[in-house]
Amino acid sequence: MDERYEPAAVERAAQRHWADHRSFAAREPAPGAAASGGGDKFYCLSMFPYPSGRLHMGHVRNYTIGDALTRFMRMQGRNVMQPMGWDAFGLPAENAAMANGVAPAKWTRDNIAYMKKQLQALGFALDWEREFATCDPSYYRWNQWLFLRMREKGIAYKRTGVVNWDPVDQTVLANEQVIDGRGWRTGALVEKREIPMYYLNITAYADELLGALKGLDGWPERVRTMQANWIGRSEGAEVAFPLADDARDALAAAAATGAGGDAAGAAPALKVFTTRVDTLFGVTFMAVAAEHPLALAAGARDPALQAFIDECRRGSTMEADIATMEKKGRRTGLHVLHPFTGQPVEVWVANYVLMGYGEGAVMGVPAHDERDFEFAQQNGIDIRPVVHPEGGVDVWPWAKGPWQPSYGEHGLTVDSGEFSGLGFQAAVDAITTALEARGLGRKRVQFRLRDWGISRQRYWGCPIPLVHCPKCGEVAVPDAQLPVVLPEDLVPDGSGNPLGKHKPFLEVACPTCGGPARRETDTMDTFVDSSWYFLRFACPDNDRAMVDERVRYWLPVDQYIGGIEHAILHLLYARFWTKVMRDLGLVGIDEPFANLFTQGMVLNHIYSHQPAEGRRSYFNPADVDVVEDGGAKRYIATRADGSTLEVRYDGLGTMSKSKNNGVDPQSLVEKYGADTARLFMMFAAPPEQTLEWSDEGVQGSFRFLRRLWKAVHEHVSAGPAPVLGREVAREALDAPQKTLRRTAHQTLAKVADDIGRRRTFNTAVAAVMELLNAVSRFEDRSPAGRAVVQEALEIAVIALSPMVPHISHALWQELGHADAIVDLRWPEADPSALVQDAITLVVQVNGKLRSQIAVAADADEATVRAAALADETVRRFVGDDTPKKVIVVPRKLVNVVV
C-alpha cells in the first residue's frame, strides 16, 4: 500500500472497476415478473442539468446528494436506478449563438460532452446506458405526439396571450431579457403585446393537484405549502354589473369602427369575481384592464385616456413588476349599474388590473379592501363602509387617515338594503342566491393558477407539430410524419425566430390537401421537456412508444432531488403532465415523485458592469478583487486580457451562467480529487440549507481523507489483525477497547440514520471524523486492540463510502477484502457493543447548569434524585432551602427548583 494518498490514481482505479463491472447498470426484472414497482426497486433521480457549459457547485451538491443516497440504497440491497440526461433546449444556447456565431445545437452538444466528462470524473454511480438529451428528435417526437393527443382532447387549446415585445428588435423577449422595463439588447421600452398561443388546461386539474398534496407525505412541507398557495383556491361569487346606456353606446360605436376588439358589444354586462360579495353594497367604482373592451371603447373617444392606456401597455408582464409599480388609474366616463340598487357605478382603467387574469375587471370596495382604499384615496372616489367589524370600534374612521387592518375583517353588514345585519357567511349566501335569481351572478370557485402557455417564438426548442394551410386552416402533422425535426444549423441573430426565414423548414405540403402550406414556427416551452423525462429514463430506447411496461416497474421516482427554486413551476408541471398521461391511459401512477428532497441554493457574490451602451456584463468573483478605499469598498475586475475595470457589487445570488458567478468544481477536482470535492460539499452545510460558497475549508476535508489513509496504512503495515469474535472474544475486551468499539458502532448507526432518515450528510461526516479522532488517540497495539482498530477502520470506511466512494474502494481492499465495497451490504450496528454501564447526568439548579453526576445507566428516579441532592456543588447553590420541586428527565438531567 502506498504511504501517500494519491487521489488521481485511486479515483482512476475505482472508476475503472465500476465501468468494467457495469456496477451501476440498473436491471429490470424478467418480462412479466413484476407488474408495478417490485418492493426492492429504488429509482433515485437528481434533476437533470441544463448543459450551460461547465458544472457549478450547485450541480456538485445536487448530484453528490443523489449519489450518496444511491450508493447507500444499493448497500441496503435495493435495485437502484440513477440515470442522467440533459435538459438541452433553451435560451442560453441562443444567447451563446448570438455572442459567438455558433449554432445552438453545436454549442449544446459540445457542452454536454464536456459536462459528461466532469460528471464521470466525480465518480457518480450513474447508469449512462439510459442517457438522452431533450434536443434528440427521438425524445422530443413524443412531446409532439402527446401535444397532438392533448389537442384532440381539448387539453391543449389556442387563445391569445400577453408577451414582452421589443419594438426595436421586433421580437418577443423572455422575462429575463427585460431589465428595468427595457429590452436587454436594445434598451428600448418594452411593450405588452397580445399574440395567439397554445395553452394547456392545467386549471382543469387544479382541484386534483391541490387535493393530492395532502397525500405527498414524502415531500417537504414548505414545497407543499408553496404549491397550495400557488394554486390558490378561493370560493366566491361571479357578479355581473349590467352596462349603463353610456357604456353600451360606447361599445356599439367602437364595434362600428372596429376599435373595440373582438369582444366589443358582445357583453351585456361587466363580469367580476369576488370573494367578498358581502361588500357588494360598498362598491363605489369598477376597475378594468387597459386592454379591456370598455377601456378601448372609452379610449377611442378620449385622447387623454387613450394616452393612459398606451402608457399601461408599456412595461413588462412580470408579476413582481406589476405588484410593485405605482397604482394608477383614470376614469372612463362610462358606467355600469349596481345589480341591486341600479345605481350607476363609474368604470376606471387601472394599471394593476390585468386582462387574462380572471375577467380583466374587478369591483372596487375601498372601505374593505386595502388596494381599493388606496386607489380611492388617490383618486377622490367615495368610501362607503358596509361591514361593521365584529368587536370593532363603534366609530367609522374610514374617511380620513390610513388603512387599518380591521377594515378588511369580516363582520356584520350595514347599509346593504335587505341584506343588512348579516354575518359574513349569511350575507354571502343571501346575496349570491339573490344574484342568481336575477341572473346576475353565481357561486364560483376561482383558482389563482392560470393555464400554462407553452408557445415560444424561439428557435431552440421542440417544434409544435402544426401546419397552416390556406385551404384547410390549422392542420396537425400526422403521427406517421413525426418527429417534426428542428434544423440544427441555424444561428439566431436576435431579430426573431430564424425558423421564420428558413424555407426548407417553413415550406411544406399540407398533410390534408397536399397544397402548399406553412409550417408552424413556434416551439414549446422547455418546461414541457422536463415534465416527463423521468418517465423516459425507464425506456429511453423505445422508438415505437412514448412509454412502455418498464415505466410501470420503475415509477414513481422513489427519491427526487433538486433545487428549491423548482418548488413550484417544474414540479407542478410534472405532476400535471403525469396526470394527463394517466388519463390518456399511458401510465398507471397519479403522482411522479414519491419522495422529494429540495436542496438549498449555492450562492456566490455577483459583480457587474453597465457600459454606456449595450448589455450589462457580469464578472466572475474569482476575477474580482475587493479593495478597501478609505472605509469604502471598491471592486476591481481583471479581464481575460489583463486589463482592469471597476465593477458594481450586486449582492449574493444563485450560481448561474447568466450572472457569471459559478464556481467550476474542476479546479478543486484537479487539486484535491473528486472525493475531497464531494466530501467538502456534503460537510459544509446541511443540504436543505442555502450555502454561501467559500472554499476556505476544502483543505480540511482533504486533510481528513489523508489522515484516514494514513491510519489505514499504519494499521495494515503492522500485518493482518486478529479477527474480532474469532481470534479475540468480544467479551474479553478491556474498558478502553470496549469504548472504542462502542464509538465505532454508534457511528455506524448514526450514519445510517443520518443518511437513510434525516438526509443530513454533514452530521454523518462529522460523526466519522470523531470516530477517526478516537482511533488516532487509541494506542493499544495488543492483538485485541488491533482487532478493535481493524473493526473501527472498516466501519469508518463503510460509513464514508456513499460520500467518498473512490478512497473507500481502495481502503476496503487494503483492509484485506477481496470483494469491492460498492457491492457490500450495509452492516447493522452490534447491539452488544452499544450497551453502557454508567452514564453522566447534568444537574441544574433553577434551570442553570451547576454540576454533573455519574449514575448507573438503569438507576431509578429516586436514586438519581438522591445523588443529585447529595452533590456538593448542588448543595452549595441550594443552601439551606428545601427544594420546591425536583424534575428528573430520565437519562438526561435533574433540575432542582428552589
Residue 728, strand partner residues = 724
Q: Does 204 bind RNA (CB under 7 A)?
A: no
List C-alpha distances in Å: 724 to 255, 653, 743, 820: 94, 52, 16, 21
Q: Does 869 bind RNA (CB under 7 A)?
A: no
From the CB of 453, what's the least distance to RNA, in Å?
A: 5
Q: Does 706 bind RNA (CB under 7 A)?
A: yes
List C-alpha distances in Å: 377 to 174, 308, 382: 36, 19, 8
From the CB of 469, what's the least distance to RNA, in Å?
A: 24
Q: Does 690 bind RNA (CB under 7 A)?
A: yes
Q: Does 50 bind RNA (CB under 7 A)?
A: yes
617-636: which residues touch RNA (CB under 7 A)? none
Q: Does 446 bind RNA (CB under 7 A)?
A: no
From the CB of 36, what's the least distance to RNA, in Å?
A: 30
How many residues touch RNA under the rule CB under 7 A: the total is 105
User: What size, in residues, is the chain?
Assistant: 898
3-state secondary structure of 467: strand
Neighbours of 514 (CB within 10 A): 11
Residue with cell 413484476: 34
Q: Does 324 bind RNA (CB under 7 A)?
A: yes
Q: Of the ranges 211-219, 296-304, 480-488, 695-703, which one interacts with RNA (CB under 7 A)?
A: 695-703
Q: Of the ranges 257-265, 334-342, 454-462, 810-818, which one interacts with RNA (CB under 7 A)?
A: 454-462
456-515: which residues touch RNA (CB under 7 A)? 456-458
> What crossing angle do the helices spanning 569-583 and 137-153 adopt, rounded to 10°?
70
Single residue of 98, 472, 568, 869 touching RNA by CB under 7 A: 568
Grid coordinates standing for 876?
452549595
Please return the burial class of 441, using the count of CB atoms within 10 Å of its CB with bins 0-12, 13-18 and 19+: buried
Q: Of the ranges 257-265, 337-345, 414-422, 758-766, which one interacts with RNA (CB under 7 A)?
A: 758-766
Pairing of strands 838-845, 893-897: parallel
Q: For residues 297 and 755, which CB has a smaller minimum distance to RNA in the complex?
A: 755
Q: Does 172 bind RNA (CB under 7 A)?
A: yes
Single residue of 26, 55, 84, 91 touching RNA by CB under 7 A: 91
Single residue of 65, 80, 173, 551 touching RNA by CB under 7 A: 173
Q: Does 526 bind RNA (CB under 7 A)?
A: yes
- Are the C-beta atoms of residues 767 and 751 closer than 8 Å to each other? yes
Q: Does 124 bind RNA (CB under 7 A)?
A: no
Contacts of 574-578 spanning 24+ positions with Cβ under 8 A: 574/530, 574/531, 574/532, 574/534, 575/209, 575/212, 576/200, 576/202, 576/205, 576/209, 576/452, 576/531, 577/528, 577/531, 577/532, 578/532, 578/535
CA-CA-CA-CA dihedral for 220, 222, 225, 226, to nearest 10: -110
Q: For residues 102 and 766, which CB has a smaller minimum distance to RNA in the complex?
A: 766
Q: For residues 400 and 777, which CB has a smaller minimum distance to RNA in the complex?
A: 777
From the CB of 892, what's the least distance to RNA, in Å?
A: 4
Q: Does 317 bind RNA (CB under 7 A)?
A: yes
878-897: which residues touch RNA (CB under 7 A)? 885, 887, 889, 892-893, 895, 897
From the CB of 226, what's the least distance to RNA, in Å?
A: 5
- Contact letters for RNA, residues 794-833 (x by CB under 7 A): ----------------------------------------
Q: Of the ranges 174-182, 482-490, 586-594, 636-644, which one interacts with RNA (CB under 7 A)?
A: 174-182
322-332 b/e (C-beta count within 10 Å ≥ 16 → b): beeeebbbbeb
Single residue of 44, 469, 538, 564 touching RNA by CB under 7 A: 564
Segments of 266-422 assigned E as strands? 269-274, 285-288, 329-337, 344-350, 361-364, 387-389, 411-413
Q: Of the ranges 120-128, 467-475, 559-567, 797-805, which one interacts with RNA (CB under 7 A)?
A: 559-567
DSSP string covering 705-717, please? HHHHHHHHHHHHH
From the CB of 824, what's the least distance to RNA, in Å?
A: 24
- Are the C-beta atoms of residues 254 and 293 closer than 8 Å to each other? yes
Q: Cα(149)–Cα(140) distance, rounded to whole angstroms?
A: 14
Single residue of 6, 176, 418, 727 touching RNA by CB under 7 A: 176
Give the distance from CA 552 to its chain's centroid: 26
From the CB of 641, what's the least distance to RNA, in Å?
A: 28
Q: Does 762 bind RNA (CB under 7 A)?
A: yes
- Contact letters for RNA, residues 273-312 (x by CB under 7 A): ----------------------------------------
Q: For residues 623 and 650, which CB has a smaller minimum distance to RNA in the complex?
A: 650
Give the distance from CA 487 to its chain's centroid: 32
CA-CA-CA-CA dihedral for 357, 361, 366, 372, to nearest 10: 50
Q: Of the ranges 109-117, 466-474, 494-502, 685-693, which one interacts with RNA (CB under 7 A)?
A: 685-693
DSSP string covering 263-308, please? TTTT-SEEEEEES-GGGGGG--EEEE-TTSHHHHHHHTT-HHHHHH
Q: Cα(337)–Cα(343) distance, rounded to whole angstroms?
A: 5
Q: Does 429 bind RNA (CB under 7 A)?
A: no
Grid coordinates standing for 107?
454549442
Q: Does 656 bind RNA (CB under 7 A)?
A: yes
From the CB of 266, what's the least distance to RNA, in Å?
A: 26
* Cα torsion 26, 32, 37, 40: sign: negative
Q: Does 863 bind RNA (CB under 7 A)?
A: no
Q: For residues 433 and 773, which CB has a smaller minimum distance to RNA in the complex?
A: 773
Q: For residues 128 and 877, which CB has a smaller minimum distance to RNA in the complex?
A: 877
